[in-house]
Amino acid sequence: MSVRQGLLALLAETPMHAYQMRQQFEHRTGGTWPLNMGQVSTTLDRLVRDGLVEPADTADADAEVQRYHLTAAGRDELATWWATPVVRSTPARDELSIKLALAVSAPGVDVRTIVQAQRTETMRAMTDLTRLKADLPASGWSSEDLAWSLVLDHLVFAAEAEVRWLDHVESRVARAAAEGGTSDETAVSRRAAATARATAATAAASGGAR
């Protein structure tokens, strides 16, 4: 879970207290993923339990809040995180792909209309995201500006992938309609098995690295 590694990454730079971690996490990711203090303290408790983080000695007796720093094991864990690609094995249950998968076989549903409505909506979201990007200065970015723009880019590229996929769906459906589509139960079970195999293979391949 990325909050856990995110806190490790922050603590590697300097000891912090919980509130600072929350602030820094939000600031450095452009506020895209707000955290509540409950999430921070729960995560922090687990990190301490697992021996990755420990309370820092407080030289200043007046300090009201406890600061934390990384242990050697915490540094190892963080190094592993930087070095390991994020696993993309099990596809998340995505409403849009479920909706379109059902739509192609549902009677009386016009897939083209669904595709166009979604394309417009996704394009609208992309336009809003791009406007936030455009508000950044043309040059002379701080590292926070860069971090924020990269987070926005991630959302923009993901939205773009969705639009491209919708284009693909549209042309596939048009072609299938021209050829006269069929519904085939054995094809369905064959595909389910293939998906399960692919997922298992990816998980196994990534398992060794974890």
Partner 1 sequence: MSRRPLGPVLLSVRGVTRVHGTGTTAVRALDGVDLDVRLGELVAVMGASGSGKSTLLNIAGGLDTPTSGTVVLAGDELSGLDVKARARLRRRSVGYVFQDFNLIPALTAAENVSLPRELDGVRVRAARREALAALDEVGVADLADRFPDELSGGQQQRVAIARALVGPRRLVLADEPTGALDSATGEDVMRVLRARIDAGAAGLLVTHEPRFAAWADRTVFVRDGVVVDGTGYAAGPESLLASGVR
Q: Which residues bind to partner 1, rule: CB under 8 A?
A: 30-32, 34, 116-117, 119-120, 122-124, 126-132, 134-135, 138, 148, 155-157, 159-160, 163-164, 167, 171
Nearer to partner 1, 48 or 125 (CB): 125
CB of 114 to partner 1, least distance (A): 12
Alpha-carbon gap, residue 18 to 41, rounded angstroms: 7
CB of 200 to partner 1, least distance (A): 33
Nearer to partner 1, 52 or 126 (CB): 126
Nearer to partner 1, 78 or 159 (CB): 159
Nearer to partner 1, 52 or 129 (CB): 129
Which residue(s) pair with 55 in the sheet?
Answer: 68
Nearer to partner 1, 144 or 184 (CB): 144
* Unique residue bearing structure tokens 């991630």: 154
81's CB contacts (< 8 A; 6+ apart) are: 5, 8, 9
CB of 16 to partner 1, least distance (A): 22
Nearer to partner 1, 31 or 55 (CB): 31
Q: State the number of CA atoms in the 13 A half-sphere of 126 facing the CB.
A: 17
**Do 11 and 21 meet the contact criterion of CB atoms below 8 Å apart?**
yes
**Do 82 and 37 meet the contact criterion of CB atoms below 8 Å apart?**
no
CB of 27 to partner 1, least distance (A): 10
CB of 36 to partner 1, least distance (A): 12
Tokens (6 digits) for 86:
């994020």
Phi, psi of 55 (to 5 degrees): -60, 135
CB of 140 to partner 1, least distance (A): 13
Residue by residue, what is the 3-state secondary structure of 149-204? HHHHHHHHHHHHHHHHHHHHHHHHHHHHHHHCCCCCHHHHHHHHHHHHHHHHHHHH
Alpha-carbon gap, residue 132 to 155, rounded angstroms: 12
